[in-house]
Amino acid sequence: MDKETVRYIINYFSHLLTSDEKMAIKYSSSLYKLEYSPNINTKNLEKIYKKRGWLNSDQTVLELLKGGYENFELLVANRILSQDHDKIFFNTCPKCNKLARTHYARQCIYCTYNWHSIVVAQFKLNSCFQLTGRKFFILGEITEGEIKQGQYMDLTMLGLNKKPKIESIELAFKQQDGKAWEDIALVTNELTEEDMIYLKNIGSYRAIFNIVNEQ
């Protein structure tokens, strides 16, 4: 796996890192700043890092880094691909198939091809639920564009490598703290039970994802 792919996985799917892996990254970053920041009071900075727990002698963390930081990143990326491959999305150029600069990018830095026309709208997630024996409802508001039945929800931005079809669009009445309003509900039946549980538990409500006109 090349460095670009490794960094892409770690940077844009950091929610899939274990707590020890996150600590190893903070540990390495702290050491780097202490060594290569000559204009900073390193003694005070070191105290701050130690107080935050970023510099420690945890053997589990040190064991992860024993082969060097690049090797650590490679091992982490391979683990994520192996264990959570269904949650990883590689945003590649439709023309040259090279990896885009970010998972949000819609223009290739290599061949300059752009695929902005695929995205027709953006939707802000507020909540989601499933009624017994019925389809899955993703509730929220349209922040840009126009959404139509038959388009697709690009859930890759939420960490789920799925683009389920919008079967129907409904209005959902909600009430909280004496206030009432209507959310837009995007309805689909193309998600697995595991997918639905993941979306209910991601804790990324208010996150924005794209609506696209093709899978």
Query: What would the mean pLDDT of 43-65 be, rounded to a whole number?
Result: 84
Go through the domains of the chain in sequence order and give each one's CATH number.
3-85 (no CATH), 116-212 (2.40.30.10)
Q: Report the SS3 class of residue 166.
A: coil
Is the pTM of the predicted complex or chain greater than 0.85?
Answer: no
Task: Work out the pLDDT band at 204, boundaries 50, 70, 90.
Answer: low
Report pLDDT digits (tens) over 141-187: 999 999 999 999 998 878 788 899 999 999 877 777 777 778 899 99
Q: Which among 48, 53, 49 has a CA at the least distance from the CA of 30?
A: 49
Query: What would the mean pLDDT of 54-58 be, rounded to a whole number?
Result: 80
Q: What is the pLDDT of residue 83?
A: 92
Neighbours of 188 (CB within 10 A): 20
Lowest mean pLDDT among 5-14, 69-78, 130-139, 170-179: 170-179
Residue 64 has pLDDT above 90, yes or no: yes
Burial class (CB in 10 A: 0-12, 13-18, 19+), 160: buried
Residue-by-residue DSSP string for 95-149:
TT-PBPSSSS--B-TTT--B-GGGEEEEEEEEEEEE-TTS-EEEEEEEEEE---T
- Buried b / exposed e across 66-96, counting CB within 10 Å, b at 16+? eeebeebbbebbeebbeeeeebbbebebeee
Tokens of 120: 């027709």
Q: Which among 127, 138, 153, 154 has a CA at the least distance from the CA of 187?
A: 138
Taking the alpha carbons of 98, 102, 107, 109 in that order, is the dihedral positive or negative? negative
Q: What is the pLDDT of residue 99?
A: 92
The upper half-sphere exposure of residue 42, i.e. CA atoms within 13 Å in the direction of its Cβ, equals 10
6 forms bridges with which residues in the sheet? none
Report pLDDT digits (tens) over 76-134: 999 999 998 878 888 888 889 899 988 778 899 999 999 888 889 999 998 888 877 77
Q: Which among 98, 74, 100, 103 has a CA at the least distance from the CA of 87?
A: 103
Q: What is the pLDDT of residue 184?
A: 92
